[in-house]
Structure 1
Amino acid sequence: MNTARTDEQQAKHIEYIKLPEVRKISGLSTTSIYRMAVAGDFPKQRKLGVKAVAWVRAEVEQWAASRTVAGQTPVATESK
């Protein structure tokens, strides 16, 4: 099995999304996203440049799906 080739193929298909899309998928506020990421309860953002960050779409969608499977709603209870 050639794992190097598989890793390269997966790396080519990474889609980065910005905060507005993360908020839309997760249903969380900006503060909750960052707070949960620090606590290890939400995917962390990736640094793309000096002042640019983004999230990996698959990680955010997997988080949302896991919340649904666990019987929780992806939307946190919070005041916006």
Structure 2
Amino acid sequence: MKHTKDQQLENQRLIRRKEVEAKTGLGASSLYAMMKKGEFPLCLSLSERRVAWIESEVDQWITDRIAAHKATLATMEA
């Protein structure tokens, strides 16, 4: 699913870890382990002790996970 230009602009904001956790259902250690394996969008440094994620990248990851799930279900039903 492609996002429209308005949705992309709307989602061009930085979100902190707690919001990423709430959106994905993942905990901090899972997020960092998946980032290390290249399975989750990388965070960016805001300062020496603060990081954030680009919301549109997290949203795309969620969309991709849902699509993969639906594809698996369709394969199982066939």
TM-score (norm 1): 0.71
Aligned to 1:66: 64
Aligned to 1:25: 23
The aligned runs of 1:1-80 (5 Å cut-off) are 14-71=12-69
Q: Secondary structure at the match of 2:65?
A: helix
- Show CA shifts across 1:23-57 (max 9, x none): 01111111000000010000010001111100000
What is the RMSD computed on CA atoms of the aligned residues?
1.9
Q: Distance in 2 between matches of 1:26 and 1:61?
A: 9
Q: Secondary structure at the match of 1:47?
A: strand
Q: Distance in 2 between matches of 1:51 and 1:14?
A: 22
Of Structure 1 and Structure 2, the greater strand share is in 2
The total of aligned residue pairs comes to 62
Of Structure 1 and Structure 2, the greater helix share is in 2
| Greater than 4 Å deviation, 4+ residue runs | none
